[in-house]
């Protein structure tokens, strides 16, 4: 609900700003590639052992709205990404795991532009407040410690920050391409652990905090520390100016 309210406020400011000639508005779709980093990357074996999430990169898509004034702009983006990976659990022959995560991220924040003389190219840097919703599933096969089959992950939300740089290239008066790279720290706030008395329970929630019942050598309570969820995003936007 908080995310919806922030989005409504931002879009209301966009509409109100149309009455000022010095302010411009850009809207359009965004596509790109999301690469997990830190604890969010790794191997399926590391995911099984509870150290990393073991995910590989994937395509993302969404939309972006930008309000520009001299030397500064505000941006709202909504992006959906699907990440996955599969392989051996490392616990025996024929024992495999496939992990899938889906991320819906809403980002809002300021951007600072640097104009270049005589060319329609504007480099920028920005910082975003992130609201990310996570969902997914895990598929085990042949692993004795957990039942074979698909286990859904309960949805969870986290708050974080994103840092980015990019360049906006204008074509005519109404169209521009926006290329950028961002480093997102999705779970700076809100980490938690939800588990149970069986090993499979540790895979059915996001569980980015330490298992409070962790004990060395315990096969059921094996997540020893909190885990950071970060991604690197490469974005390409096709924006129409109003």
The model carries a pTM of: 0.87
Count Cβ atoms within 10 A of the Cβ of residue 5 and give its class: 0-12 exposed, 13-18 middle, 19 or more buried. exposed
Per-residue pLDDT, 72: 74
Per-residue pLDDT, 213: 96
Averaged pLDDT, groups of 10, the chain, 242 residues long: 53 48 85 98 97 98 90 90 97 93 97 84 95 98 94 98 95 91 98 95 97 94 97 97 84
Per-residue pLDDT, 91: 86
Per-residue pLDDT, 70: 72
CB 46, CB 87: distance < 8 Å: no
Query: Long-range contacts: 35-42, Cβ < 8 Å, 24+?
Result: 35/231, 35/232, 35/233, 35/234, 36/83, 36/230, 36/231, 37/183, 37/230, 37/231, 37/232, 38/228, 38/229, 38/230, 39/227, 39/228, 39/229, 39/230, 40/227, 40/228, 40/229, 40/230, 40/231
Per-residue pLDDT, 111: 93
CB 97, CB 44: distance < 8 Å: yes
Q: Is the dihedral of CA 190, 191, 197, 203 positive or negative?
A: positive
Pairing of strands 58-69, 96-113: unpaired
What is the three-class DSSP state of 120?
coil
């Amino acid at each position: 609900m908080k995310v919806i309210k922030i989005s409504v406020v931002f879009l209301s400011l966009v509409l109100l700003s149309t009455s000022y000639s010095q302010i411009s508005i850009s809207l359009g779709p965004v596509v790109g590639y999301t690469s997990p980093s830190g604890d969010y990357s790794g191997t399926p074996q590391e995911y099984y052992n509870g150290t990393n999430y073991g995910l590989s990169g994937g395509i993302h898509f969404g939309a972006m709205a930008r309000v520009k004034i001299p030397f500064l702009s505000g941006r709202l983006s909504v992006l959906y990404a699907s990440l996955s990976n599969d392989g051996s659990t490392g616990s025996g022959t024929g024992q495999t795991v496939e992990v899938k995560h889906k991320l819906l991220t809403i980002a809002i924040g300021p951007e600072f532009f640097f104009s270049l003389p005589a060319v329609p190219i504007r480099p920028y840097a920005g910082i975003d407040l992130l609201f990310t919703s996570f969902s997914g599933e895990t598929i085990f096969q042949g692993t004795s410690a957990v039942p074979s089959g698909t286990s859904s992950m309960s949805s969870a939300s986290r708050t974080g920050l994103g840092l980015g740089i990019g360049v906006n290239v204008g074509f005519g008066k109404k169209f521009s391409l926006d290329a950028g790279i961002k480093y997102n720290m999705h779970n700076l706030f809100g980490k938690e652990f939800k588990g149970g008395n069986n090993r499979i329970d540790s895979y059915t929630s996001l569980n980015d905090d330490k298992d409070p019942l962790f004990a060395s050598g315990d096969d059921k309570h094996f997540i020893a520390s909190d885990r950071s969820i970060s991604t690197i995003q490469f974005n390409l936007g096709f924006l129409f100016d109003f």
